[in-house]
C-alpha cells in the first residue's frame, strides 16, 4: 500500500469520498502541463471489476470532482455490451456502455489512493 502524504474529501454522487495521494504523485502533478483526471471505472460484466484510468481529459459527460490543483476524480459505471471472445481479443476487453440507471448514480467509492512512480500512475479505489 502507498504511504499517502496528501488527502482531500470530495463529493461523488452525493457521498463523501476520501482521496489520498503520495508525495511522488504530488510532485508528478506539479510537473504536468495540464490537469489529471482519474477515472474510477466500475465495470459490470460476468464479475464486477474495478479499474483506474489516468487521463488528460475526462471521458464522457460525467462530472469530475476537483480534489486539488490539477487533480480530479470521477466514477464511471459501465457494463459490457457483448460477450464475444473475438471482440474481447480485438479490444483487449468486451465492448462497453455507460450505465445511466438511477441506481448507478448513487454509487460512490469510500476511498481512492493514488501514486506515481517513474512516471507511471497507479492506484486503487475501495467501495
State residue 5 phi and psi, 5-degree precision.
-115, -20
What is the pLDDT at residue 1? 57
Instruction: In whole angstroms, give the CA distance from residue 3 to residue 119.
Output: 17
What is the pLDDT at residue 103? 85
Residue 73, pLDDT > 90, answer yes
Mean pLDDT of all residues in the chain?
A: 87
What is the pLDDT at residue 92? 65
Q: What is the pTM of this model?
A: 0.82
CA angle centred on 75, ends 124 and 86, rounded to 5°? 80
Percent helix, percent strand, percent coil in the chain, to nearest 5: 15, 50, 35
What is the pLDDT at residue 93? 67
Amino acid at each position: 500500500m502507498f504511504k499517502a502524504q496528501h488527502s482531500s474529501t470530495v463529493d461523488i454522487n452525493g457521498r463523501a469520498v476520501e482521496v489520498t495521494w503520495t508525495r511522488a504523485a504530488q510532485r508528478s502533478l506539479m510537473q504536468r502541463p495540464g490537469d489529471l483526471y482519474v477515472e474510477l471505472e466500475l465495470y459490470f460484466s460476468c464479475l464486477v471489476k474495478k479499474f483506474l484510468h489516468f487521463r488528460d481529459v475526462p471521458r464522457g459527460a460525467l462530472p469530475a470532482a476537483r480534489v486539488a490543483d490539477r487533480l480530479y476524480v470521477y466514477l464511471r459505471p459501465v457494463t459490457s455490451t457483448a460477450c464475444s471472445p473475438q471482440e474481447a481479443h480485438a479490444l483487449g476487453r468486451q465492448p462497453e456502455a455507460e450505465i445511466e440507471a438511477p441506481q448507478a448514480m448513487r454509487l460512490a467509492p469510500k476511498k481512492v489512493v493514488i501514486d506515481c512512480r517513474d512516471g507511471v500512475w497507479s492506484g486503487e479505489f475501495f467501495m
